[in-house]
Structure 1
C-alpha cells in the first residue's frame, strides 16, 4: 500500500529532526539523504525556499571566530530548530505539543521494530 502525502511529510520531518542531533547527541551534518528530504518537503510546501536553504546552511555551521564549541553548537541547534519549525509550517503541519511529540516518537519507534506484530509497517 502506498504512503499518503501526510505520511511522507511526517517521515521527512522526522528525518530533519533527527539530523538536528537532539536525540542522538551527534553533530548535525549535511548528507544526500537530508538533501532529498528537504527537496521533497519543498515540493510539498507553500513555495518559500528560505527555511530550506537556511536549514542546509546551518547543518555545516561552525560558529564565528571567538565562539567556543558549546556556544556554536547551541546557536546551530537553535537555528536548525527554527528552520525545522518554519518548514513544518510551510507544509501545513501544526506546531502543537502533540505534533512535536509525534515527531519525537518517530525517533523512538525507529529504535524499536519498524514492523508491528501483525507484519504491517506503522508510520
Structure 2
C-alpha cells in the first residue's frame, strides 16, 4: 500500500504545481499593480496596460507615453525578452522609464509565467 500512497502524493504535487506557480506569479504581480493593469481594454497607469503583452512590439500601447528608448528598442515581448527586461530594465533598454527590477530568478520566472496567462487578449 505504501507505494500507492507515494504515487498519489506525487500526482497530487504534480497537479498542484501549476496552481502554486500561478499563485506565486500573482503574488509577484502585486508590486506591479501600482503602475500596470492587465485587463483587456484596461487603462494605462504610470506604466502601460499589459493586456496582450506577449507577441506585442515594445512601446506600442496606444495612449501611453513611452520613453524614446522603449519606442525604438525593437523588442517583441516573449518569455525571454520579458525575463531579461525584468531582471535589469536599464540594462536591457538603456533610457527606459521602468524603475523597478525583479532580481530574484524564481520570483521573476513566476511573474513571467503568470503574465503569460493573465495578459492573453
TM category (shorter chain) comes to: under 0.3
Q: TM-score, normalised by structure 2?
A: 0.27
Q: TM-score, normalised by structure 1?
A: 0.27
Structure (1 or 2) with the larger CA radius of gyration = 2
